Amino acid sequence: MTTLAIEELNVQYQLRNKTIHAVDGVSFSLENNESLGIVGESACGKSTLGLAIIRSVPGRNIVKGDILLDGKSTLKISEDEFTKTIRWKKISMMFQGAMNSLDPVFSIKQQFEEILRTHDNIGNHLKMINDAMDSVGLSSTILDKFPHELSGGMKQRVIIAMALILQPCLIIADEPTTALDVLVQAQILSVFKKLKKEGLSIILISHDLGIISEIADKVGIMYAGKIVEFGTLHEIYSNPKHPYTQALLKSIPKIKGESDLISLKGTPPDLSNPFTGCRFYDRCPHAMEKCKKDPLKTKTETGYVSCWIYESNK
Amino acid sequence: MSQYALYSFLDIPYKQVIIVEEILSVKNLKKYFVNGGFSRQKETVRAVDDISFSIKRGQTFVLAGESGSGKTTVSRLILRAIEPDSGEITFDGVKITNDASSLKKIRTKCQMIHQDPYASMDPRMKISDIIREPLDIHDIDKSSERENLVFQALRDVKLEPEEIASKYPHMLSGGQRQRVAIARSIITKPKMIIADEPVSMLDVSVRVGILELMKELQTKQDISFLYITHDLTTARYIGHVISILYLGKIVETGFISDVLFHPRHPYTQALMDSISEPDPDNLQKEKKIRINNPVEVNTYQGCRFRARCPYAIEKCKQEPELKPLSDRRSVACFVKID
């Protein structure tokens, strides 16, 4: 049983003459091994959010907020302790494009052993590696091969196996299927589905609402550093509330094809400017005077939405 | 004008006549690449192997397949960026060979939109110069006129000329850049545009905008498209006719809704299985893709999909031909699936 709670998380990157507000006041919580999907356009801060959870952004960039794993703060403990007790043991991550960062001069087995060595693991290494390979459907004959001998799909499975080797309860997967062929993509998704059934929680970061719908129990829609809508998969997909969510769902061509698709006009705002007001203001079809002030979170059936339209329903 | 004359002679209202003129026809196109250099054993890759198709005027023809299926090689062959081993390409009634006049014809009247709008533009050129370049190269219109044409092209792709023309590519978003690429491709008044995965690098929310723009250009300027993609949902949105490519061979071809909703080839079926639509019911469902783990076979002997095909039979060791099922549908498979 795992619970993860994020409270008012703010992550900023300090550049020479400006500050990028990459994640701005994000809160949500996950219980009972739920899986989460984070959806958003490029540069909305979704990868930064993932990196912050595993403490891979330099500490001083997290300026506010807290991350609680099973009720205990992961930000207040020291870096050493985080590495010893949490990183890869409780939470692990598949980085975006990781399959291309396998070291070309070491065999797959050596790269597995490196992880175990780094974490001072004293167990039956070979058995652990084989178990991890098993769970992603790879045969152990691959272990002696080098990355260039494997196909894209196999490399991606190796990456999943690497994230699973210390048996974490939560895995953060950042765009795990981009740059893969459609068929391979579907196979990777079925690996995730199987792992989820076996009790693993997954935080899936993607821009593809279709892929999210295969894995996520809960979905957070992220726009310009904020989660604008949060709720169960079912509620968000069948009854989207935030105008951005509605627009996103309307802009995806479906194979059975209704033809009234609407594309979003304009571009997301520059995250280096400090904001007041709703960030979707410029692109929103329902924008009104009130939207120049920061929208409050309004409770919905299974989550919340940050939009003034629903404020009056309180 | 002779066309109109004929219709009035036959007393058929012009609008009702479906013009079935072909803009591009490709016959038995072949291109093999030889891999390997000094010490390695040579290996032949049959990137495009005996492909024939034709595109009708004003139509969008989709070439779909995974990476390595040879779809980009086909586009490079059509524009003669590389030399075909054999085969015939006819564009707008002219056979494309290596002589200057036919090359000029295809390279002005058939344009290309590339996949990556971040890589397909010179970062040190202004947008107006990027769009103008084809006019300068092919020496189209007087140079005093060219500025106007650039502005018109920008307006055609729904960009604000005054605002955009003097900018540099890095100042634009991905969607805007792809619009600039489209403006560059329509400036020579092409009859056909080859679009190689034009939306796969873009954000989901702006993809539809680009596809809509392509549709609009098609009706307004009567441009035919060759749409190359691996994404069947956008293909369905924009396409009329589709050919499914697998390892250099067309395995199935026909009207797009026929092919996608009633696939006759196991590979098309697997591609359809692999699509994830944004549907909350997916969460509970198991994802089933009707495909096997690849077994070792000689790829170029017999059916190329045999290694992964769940329906493979003994006969598949022979090579299946692309046979017509009806007058608009062809499939290369020995097995009947439904």
Is the domain of A175 the same as that of A156?
no
Contact list in A for residue B272 (CB cut-off 8 A) is 255
pLDDT at residue number A267:
80
Taking an 8 Å cut-off on Cβ atoms, the answer to whether A209 and B66 are in contact is no
Taking an 8 Å cut-off on Cβ atoms, the answer to whether B203 and A41 are in contact is yes
Distance from CA of A75 to the nearest CA of B (A): 32
Contact list in B for residue A185 (CB cut-off 8 A) is 274
DSSP B246-281: ETTEEEEEEEHHHHHHS--SHHHHHHHHT---S-GG
pLDDT for residue B5 is more than 70: no
Rounded to the nearest integer, the mean pLDDT of chain B is 89
On whether residue B68 sits in a domain, the answer given is: yes
pLDDT tier, B20 (very low <50, low <70, confident <90, very high otherwise): low
Distance from CA of B277 to the nearest CA of A (A): 4
Is the domain of B230 the same as that of B169?
yes
Is the domain of A66 the same as that of A84?
yes
On whether residue B260 sits in a domain, the answer given is: no
Is the domain of B164 the same as that of B311?
no
User: Which candidate from B173, B278, B291 shows the least CB-CB separation from A183?
Assistant: B291
pLDDT for residue B4 is more than 50: no
On whether residue B338 sits in a domain, the answer given is: no
Give how far Cα B23 sits from Cα of B211, B223, B236, B242, B243, Å: 21, 10, 21, 16, 17
Q: Which amino acid is it at A267?
A: T
Taking the CA atoms of residue A141, residue A144, residue A149 and residue A155 in that order, the dihedral angle to the nearest 10 degrees is 80
pLDDT tier, B214 (very low <50, low <70, confident <90, very high otherwise): very high
Note the residue count of chain B. 338
Q: How far apart are CA B195 and CA B90, in angstroms?
A: 19
On whether residue A273 sits in a domain, the answer given is: no
Q: How far apart are CA A48 and CA A225, in angstroms?
A: 9
B194 CB-near residues (< 8 Å, 6+ apart): B75, B78, B79, B110, B111, B112, B113, B225, B226, B228
On whether residue B79 sits in a domain, the answer given is: yes
Range of the domain at B326: 265-276+284-331
On whether residue A174 sits in a domain, the answer given is: yes
Q: Which amino acid is it at B75?
A: S
Question: Please, are residues A176 and A156 in contact by the beta-carbon 8 Å criterion?
Answer: yes
pLDDT for residue B3 is more than 70: no
Interval B63-88: pLDDT, tens: 999 888 888 899 999 999 999 999 99
B266-273 vs A182-197: helix crossing angle, rounded to 10: 50
Q: B167, B204, B231: which to substitute to probe chain A, counting the most A Cβ within 10 Å? A: B204
Per-residue pLDDT of chain A (314 residues; tens, 9 = 90+): 678 999 999 999 988 888 889 999 999 999 878 999 999 988 899 999 999 999 988 767 888 899 999 989 998 999 899 999 999 999 999 998 888 889 999 999 999 999 999 998 888 999 999 999 999 989 889 999 999 999 888 999 999 999 999 999 999 999 998 878 888 889 899 999 999 999 999 999 999 999 999 999 999 999 999 999 999 999 999 999 999 999 999 888 888 766 678 888 778 888 887 778 899 998 898 889 888 888 888 999 999 999 998 876 55
User: Which candidate from A207, A214, A257 shows the least CB-CB separation from B237?
Assistant: A257
Contact list in B for residue A248 (CB cut-off 8 A) is 204-205
On whether residue A232 sits in a domain, the answer given is: yes
Number of H helices, E strands in chain A: 9, 12
Taking the CA atoms of residue B214, residue B216, residue B218 and residue B220 in that order, the dihedral angle to the nearest 10 degrees is -150
pLDDT, mean of residues B299-309: 88
Is the domain of A191 the same as that of A82?
yes
pLDDT, mean of residues B84-102: 92
Taking an 8 Å cut-off on Cβ atoms, the answer to whether B282 and A238 are in contact is no
Distance from CA of B245 to the nearest CA of A (A): 14
Taking an 8 Å cut-off on Cβ atoms, the answer to whether B286 and A193 are in contact is yes
Is the domain of B184 the same as that of B236?
yes
Distance from CA of A217 to the nearest CA of B (A): 7
On whether residue B294 sits in a domain, the answer given is: yes
> Residues in chain A whose beta carbon is closer than 8 A to a beta carbon of chain B?
41-42, 181-183, 185-187, 189-190, 193, 207-217, 233-234, 237-238, 247-249, 251-255, 257, 259, 261-265, 267
Distance from CA of B259 to the nearest CA of A (A): 12
A182-197 vs A152-164: helix crossing angle, rounded to 10: 20
Q: How far apart are CA B78 and CA B83, in angstroms?
A: 9
Instruction: Answer positive or negative: Cα dihedral of A94, A98, A103, A109.
Output: positive
Taking an 8 Å cut-off on Cβ atoms, the answer to whether B274 and A186 are in contact is yes
Angle ∠(A161,A100,B118) on CA atoms, nearest 5: 140
Taking an 8 Å cut-off on Cβ atoms, the answer to whether B212 and A42 are in contact is no
Which of A67-76, A265-274, B127-136, B215-224 is least confident? A265-274
pLDDT at residue number A120:
86
The total domain count for chain B is: 2
> Residues in chain B whose beta carbon is closer than 8 A to a beta carbon of chain A?
66-67, 173-176, 203-209, 211-212, 230-234, 236-237, 260, 270-280, 282-283, 286-287, 289, 291
Range of the domain at A253: 4-90+169-262
pLDDT at residue number B12:
47
Is the domain of B232 the same as that of B314?
no
| Nearest alpha carbon to residue A243 among A277, A289, A271, A282 | A282
For B208, which residue in chain A has the nearest alpha carbon?
A263
pLDDT at residue number B285:
87
On whether residue A272 sits in a domain, the answer given is: no
Distance from CA of B274 to the nearest CA of A (A): 5
pLDDT, mean of residues B207-222: 93
pLDDT for residue B23 is more than 90: yes
Is the domain of A115 the same as that of A238?
no
Residues of chain B with pLDDT > 90, as a percent, come to: 66
**Which three-class secondary structure state does DSSP give residue A306?**
strand
Beta sheet of A201-206, edge-to-edge order: A91-94, A170-174, A201-206, A36-39, A218-223, A226-232, A304-306, A297-299
The better pLDDT of the pair B29, A264 is held by B29
Q: What pTM value is reported for the model?
A: 0.88
> Which residue bears the tokens 């960026």?
B81
The total domain count for chain A is: 2
On whether residue A283 sits in a domain, the answer given is: no
The better pLDDT of the pair A125, B16 is held by A125
Residues of chain B with pLDDT > 70, as a percent, come to: 93
pLDDT at residue number A1:
63
Q: Which amino acid is it at B114?
A: H
